[in-house]
């Protein structure tokens, strides 16, 4: 289907646009009262993900409320290890938990690429959202990176120190490489099925890449991300390219390396100077980011000033997609999000 607004796709491919497109990581979620209402009716977060109609409704909520240039599939990165049999649950106030984490050699040996049939609810959601969007804006599919997925799979949930997975990395790197290899194969198949179901672009989230040492980042994260991108379907059925975005939180030190991984665009967190980032990557990739999500807790004027600063930092020309440097916080006022989107659209015209 023809896209009515393809500004986001054009910016990812570094083609000229009339303004800078904008979407927000975690744009559907608890900061929206209409999300909280649907979630209460659905039961829990995973029930939302697994039900095609609920997933479709909440994906469209931010697109209907704000003038966003892309929608992102409502799901989670942890669907993949769940399909591997690790037993995912979300405990209120504690985040994700796995009943069967991968913590010894035996568990690593038994780990396998899951049957994609187990994830058909995700692909059904993609197809349903595409139909509901009716070409309004592109739909982004996504997955976690092999390393970030492994962090949750080995730790059994969220972690501050990553003691268990780093113990494996430094004492049994062979075991960790096996987990990462399986994750890379699973993510490749998973993203290709999302593309087949209608995703117009895909993003790989490496939320925990930044906790690795300089040497380990290349060996345990970027190598596997590169492998995935090499295995992705390049175009849709009509021959339209499917751009790939790689977001490594804390990855600002590795932008030049990352610019060679095959991605069309790199996500920037808020610690990076976007002007310096652009000089480093040259015309190899587009850049997405890099507004501090906490700056949405400032006034309307402060939000606008921060938008202006980032747009000026990137400067004139194509290849910038405005976004946050990480997911939106649940206590964010939706009015400030509206201010941000309007400021990006109006102020960015001067740069195109
Ligand atoms: O961006 C979007 O709007 C699409 C949906 C999306 C979710 N999770 C929905 C979600 C995406 C792209 C993700 C990715 C994800 N999930 C990441 C990578 C990006 C990042 O934020 O770093 C990670 C690490 C996860 C794992 C995860 N899921 C955690 C740690 C948590 C608990 C944290 C929290 O905010 O409670 C989740 C739950 C989750 N995923 C929620 C949403 C909307 C909150 C669920 C709820 O209680 O309603």
Round to whole Å and give the CA distance between 257 and 214: 11
Partner residues linked to 98 by β-bridges: 88
pLDDT tens string 301-350: 999 999 999 999 999 999 999 999 999 999 999 999 999 999 999 999 99
pLDDT at 1: 75
Q: Is any atom of ligand 1 closer than 6 Å to the C-beta of 74?
A: yes
2-31: average pLDDT: 98
Between the alpha carbon of residue 111 and those of residues 13, 108, 186, 205, the distances in Å are 37, 5, 11, 22
pLDDT at 319: 98
Q: Is any atom of ligand 1 closer than 6 Å to the C-beta of 205?
A: yes
Q: Which one, of 109, 94, 100, lies nearest residue 81 by Cα?
A: 100
Between the alpha carbon of residue 246 and those of residues 134, 147, 209, the distances in Å are 26, 13, 11
H helix or E strand, kind and range, residue 275? helix 274-281
Between the alpha carbon of residue 90 and those of residues 93, 96, 97, 98, 145, the distances in Å are 9, 5, 6, 9, 20
Q: Whose CA is closest to atom 32 on ligand 1?
A: 95
Q: What is the CA(349)–ligand 1 centre distance, in A?
A: 32
Round to whole Å and give the CA distance between 139 and 208: 24
pLDDT tens string 99-125: 999 999 999 999 999 999 999 999 999
**pLDDT at 92 exceeding the cut of 90:** no
Query: How many angstroms from the chain centroid is the CA of residue 95?
Result: 18
Round to whole Å and give the CA distance between 223 and 219: 6
pLDDT tens string 180-230: 999 999 999 999 999 999 999 999 999 999 999 999 999 999 999 999 999
DSSP string, 262-330: S-SEEE--TTS-HHHHHHHHTTS-EEEEEE-GGGGGS-HHHHHHHHHHHHHHH-SSS-EEEEESSPPPT
Using 50, 70 and 90 to split pLDDT, how confident is the model at 351? very high
124 close to 199: Cβ distance less than 8 angstroms: no
pLDDT tens string 137-155: 999 999 999 999 999 999 9
Q: Is any atom of ligand 1 closer than 6 Å to the C-beta of 28?
A: yes
24-30: average pLDDT: 97
pLDDT at 243: 98
For the CA of 207, the closest atom of ligand 1 is 22
Q: What is the CA(76)–ligand 1 centre distance, in A?
A: 6
Query: How many angstroms from the chain centroid is the CA of residue 99?
Result: 25
Residues 6+ apart with CB under 8 A from 46: 76, 88, 89, 90
pTM of the model: 0.98
How many residues are there in the chain? 352
How confident is the prediction for the chain on average, in pLDDT? Answer: 97
Q: What is the CA(317)–ligand 1 centre distance, in A?
A: 32
Between the alpha carbon of residue 40 and those of residues 32, 46, 221, the distances in Å are 13, 12, 37
pLDDT at 94: 87
Cβ-based neighbour number of residue 334 at 10 Å? 16
43-68: average pLDDT: 97
Q: Domain ranges in the chain?
A: 24-277
Q: What is the CA(26)–ligand 1 centre distance, in A?
A: 7
Q: Is any atom of ligand 1 closer than 6 Å to the C-beta of 26?
A: yes
196 close to 146: Cβ distance less than 8 angstroms: no
pLDDT tens string 155-172: 999 999 999 999 999 999
pLDDT tens string 243-269: 999 999 999 999 999 999 999 999 999
Q: Is any atom of ligand 1 closer than 6 Å to the C-beta of 323?
A: no
Q: Whose CA is closest to atom 3 on ligand 1?
A: 26
Q: Does domain 24-277 have CATH number 3.40.50.150?
A: no
**pLDDT at 45 exceeding the cut of 80:** yes
pLDDT at 93: 82
What percent of the chain stands above pLDDT 70? 100
Cβ-based neighbour number of residue 312 at 10 Å? 14
pLDDT at 252: 98
pLDDT at 91: 85
pLDDT at 315: 98
């Amino acid at each position: 289907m023809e896209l009515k607004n393809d500004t986001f796709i054009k910016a990812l491919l570094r083609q000229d646009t009339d303004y800078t497109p904008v979407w927000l990581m975690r744009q559907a979620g608890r900061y929206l009262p209409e999300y909280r209402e649907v979630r209460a009716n659905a039961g829990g977060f995973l029930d939302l993900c697994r039900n095609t109609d609920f997933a479709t409704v909440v994906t469209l909520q931010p697109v209907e409320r704000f003038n966003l240039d892309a929608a992102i599939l409502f799901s989670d990165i942890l669907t993949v290890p769940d399909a591997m049999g690790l037993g995912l649950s979300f405990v209120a106030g504690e985040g994700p938990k796995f009943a069967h984490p991968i913590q010894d050699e035996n568990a690593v040996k038994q780990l396998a690429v899951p049957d994609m049939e187990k994830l058909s609810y995700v692909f059904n959601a993609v197809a349903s959202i595409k139909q509901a969007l009716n070409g309004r804006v592109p739909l982004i599919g996504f997955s976690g990176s092999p390393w970030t997925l492994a962090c949750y799979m080995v730790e059994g949930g969220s972690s501050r120190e990553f003691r268990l997975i780093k113990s494996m990395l430094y004492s049994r790197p062979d075991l960790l490489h096996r987990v990462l290899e399986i994750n890379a194969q699973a993510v490749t198949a998973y993203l290709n099925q999302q593309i087949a179901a209608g995703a117009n672009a895909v993003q790989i989230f490496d939320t925990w890449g930044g906790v690795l040492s300089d040497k380990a980042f290349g060996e345990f994260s970027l190598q596997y991300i590169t492998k995935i991108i090499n295995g992705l379907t390049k175009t849709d059925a009509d021959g339209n390219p499917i751009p790939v975005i790689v977001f490594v939180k804390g990855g600002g030190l590795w932008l030049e390396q990352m610019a060679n991984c095959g991605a069309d665009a790199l996500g920037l967190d808020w610690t990076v100077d976007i002007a310096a980032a652009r000089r480093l990557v040259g015309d190899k990739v587009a850049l997405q980011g890099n507004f501090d999500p906490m700056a949405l807790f400032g006034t309307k004027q402060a939000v606008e000033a921060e938008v202006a600063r980032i747009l000026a930092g990137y400067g004139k020309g194509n290849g910038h997609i405005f976004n946050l440097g990480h997911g939106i916080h649940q206590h964010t006022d939706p009015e400030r999000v509206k201010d941000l989107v309007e400021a990006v659209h109006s102020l960015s015209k001067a740069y195109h």
